[in-house]
């Protein structure tokens, strides 16, 4: 058994497992100084990873897009994720994996190809992007004044830590007493929020943006559930006016699932959705999402034996 305290989480750094609070990135790592890093987050629910292969597929695509090639194989990365969860002894977990550019082998080099890329991962106790009690009443959301960075500049489908616009939106939202923010692009179309995709429900139809957004795994799950439940759901352009006049709005993410939104504000006017509570379609999708978790949908049991190696 490990002799260190992994109770706050377990991490993998440069070939070693360490307690989460000891996991660190060198200050000269380009993953830190240039946000030259891609990542993914998968959750563990009641002892099983949710859609692990889909998260690893997305992570691999992101690494390829950024020419990042850490030494670990995909199979080794998968084992490391299992081992982190096992070491931390978690049944419900937030599990992050990262590929960082690293530091140049040649002193002073400005060439990304001169860097030794590396893989980091950690498992921490479960967290929600929007606290459960806020999800229960429906989140209050500000449409941030900062536009989402253009897709042509930072590809939102390559999961990244370049959160300048999202953090500016969060600061604005919190400063005005809102729970979180959503961002539109410079052309006035809805994109996403800090850590979640956004859905709009109008006249019984479910819509989610076709731009400025990560192709969320939770988003995919919701689209599949909609198809199974006979709810029309589309990936489409969503003008800001549609967001402001929606019947329901909800957010989706790995760390929270389907998260209802009860108020959408421009800062001047606040649109109260339904009766200021989660709408019926949002609530039904949320319930079905978690019911399927209980039934083992897309769940891969955590291999606890890997924590002993
Ligand atoms: N959009 C952003 C910017 C995110 O960071 C996340 C998740 O962290 C999402 C969307 C939701 O994606 P997923 O459902 O795969 O967690």
Per-residue pLDDT of the chain (309 residues; tens, 9 = 90+): 456 899 999 999 999 999 999 999 999 999 999 999 999 999 999 999 999 999 999 999 999 999 999 999 999 999 999 999 999 999 999 999 999 999 999 999 999 999 999 999 999 999 999 999 999 999 999 999 999 999 999 999 999 999 999 999 999 999 999 999 999 999 999 999 999 999 999 999 999 999 999 999 999 999 999 999 999 999 999 999 999 999 999 999 999 999 999 999 999 999 999 889 999 999 999 999 999 999 999 999 999 999 975
User: Distance between the two ends of the chain, CA-based, in angstroms?
Assistant: 10
- Which protein residue has the closest C-alpha to ligand 1 atom 7? 195
pLDDT of the residue at 2:
53
Q: How far is the CA of 3 from the centre of ligand 1 (A)?
A: 35
**What three-state secondary structure class fits 32?**
helix
Residue of 123, 103, 129 whose CA lies nearest to 45:
123
Q: Answer yes or no: is the C-beta of 218 below 6 A from any ligand 1 atom.
A: yes
pLDDT of the residue at 275:
87
Residues paired with residue 160 on neighbouring β-strands, in sequence order? 38
Q: Answer yes or no: is the C-beta of 217 below 6 A from any ligand 1 atom.
A: yes
- Which protein residue has the closest C-alpha to ligand 1 atom 12? 216
Q: How far is the CA of 197 from the centre of ligand 1 (A)?
A: 6
Interface predicted TM-score (ipTM):
0.99
Ligand 1 atom at minimal distance to the Cα of residue 220? 14
Q: Answer yes or no: is the C-beta of 208 below 6 A from any ligand 1 atom.
A: no
Separation of alpha carbons 159 and 213, rounded Å? 10
pLDDT of the residue at 4:
86
Whether 194 contacts 141, CB under 8 Å: no
Q: Answer yes or no: is the C-beta of 254 below 6 A from any ligand 1 atom.
A: yes
Q: Answer yes or no: is the C-beta of 96 below 6 A from any ligand 1 atom.
A: no
Q: Answer yes or no: is the C-beta of 216 below 6 A from any ligand 1 atom.
A: yes
Displacement of CA 104 from its chain's centroid (Å) = 29
Helices (H), the chain: 30-33, 52-65, 74-88, 132-137, 164-175, 217-229, 240-244, 280-294
Q: Answer yes or no: is the C-beta of 219 below 6 A from any ligand 1 atom.
A: yes
Ligand 1 atom at minimal distance to the Cα of residue 156? 3
- Which protein residue has the closest C-alpha to ligand 1 atom 1? 196
Q: How far is the CA of 308 from the centre of ligand 1 (A)?
A: 31
- Which protein residue has the closest C-alpha to ligand 1 atom 8? 195
Q: Answer yes or no: is the C-beta of 252 below 6 A from any ligand 1 atom.
A: yes
Q: How far is the CA of 41 from the centre of ligand 1 (A)?
A: 8
Whether 83 contacts 307, CB under 8 Å: yes
Separation of alpha carbons 112 and 102, rounded Å? 9
Q: How far is the CA of 104 from the centre of ligand 1 (A)?
A: 30
Q: Answer yes or no: is the C-beta of 221 below 6 A from any ligand 1 atom.
A: no
Residue of 104, 10, 42, 59 whose CA lies nearest to 306:
10
Query: In which element (H, E) is residue 272 found?
Result: strand 270-272
pLDDT of the residue at 227:
98
């Amino acid at each position: 058994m490990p002799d260190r305290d992994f109770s706050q989480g377990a991490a993998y750094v440069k070939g070693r497992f360490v307690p989460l609070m000891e996991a660190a990135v060198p200050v000269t790592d380009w993953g830190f100084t240039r946000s030259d890093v891609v990542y993914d987050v998968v959750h563990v629910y009641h002892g099983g990873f949710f859609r692990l292969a889909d998260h690893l597929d997305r992570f691999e695509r992101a690494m390829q897009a950024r020419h990042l090639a850490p030494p670990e194989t995909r199979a080794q990365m998968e084992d490391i994720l299992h081992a982190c969860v096992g070491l931390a002894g978690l049944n419900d977990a937030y599990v992050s994996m990262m590929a960082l550019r690293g530091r140049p082998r040649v002193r002073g080099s400005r060439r990304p190809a001169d860097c030794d890329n590396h893989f980091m991962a950690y498992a921490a106790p479960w967290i929600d992007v929007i606290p459960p009690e806020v999800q229960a009443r429906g989140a209050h959301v500000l449409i941030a004044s900062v536009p989402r960075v253009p897709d042509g500049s930072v590809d939102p489908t390559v999961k990244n830590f370049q959160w300048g616009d999202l953090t500016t939106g969060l600061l604005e939202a919190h400063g005005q007493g809102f729970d979180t923010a959503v961002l539109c692009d410079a052309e006035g179309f809805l994109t996403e929020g800090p850590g979640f995709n956004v859905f709009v429900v109008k006249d019984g139809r479910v819509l989610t943006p076709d731009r400025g957004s990560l192709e969320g795994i939770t988003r995919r799950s919701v689209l599949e559930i909609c198809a199974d439940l006979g709810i029309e759901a589309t990936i489409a352009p969503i003008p800001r006016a549609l967001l402001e006049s929606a019947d329901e709005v909800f957010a989706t993410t790995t760390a929270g699932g389907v998260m209802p939104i009860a108020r959408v504000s421009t800062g001047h006017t606040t649109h109260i959705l339904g009766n200021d509570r989660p709408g019926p379609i949002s609530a039904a999708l949320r319930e079905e999402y978690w019911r399927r978790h209980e039934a083992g949908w897309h769940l891969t049991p955590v291999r606890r034996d890997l924590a002993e190696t």
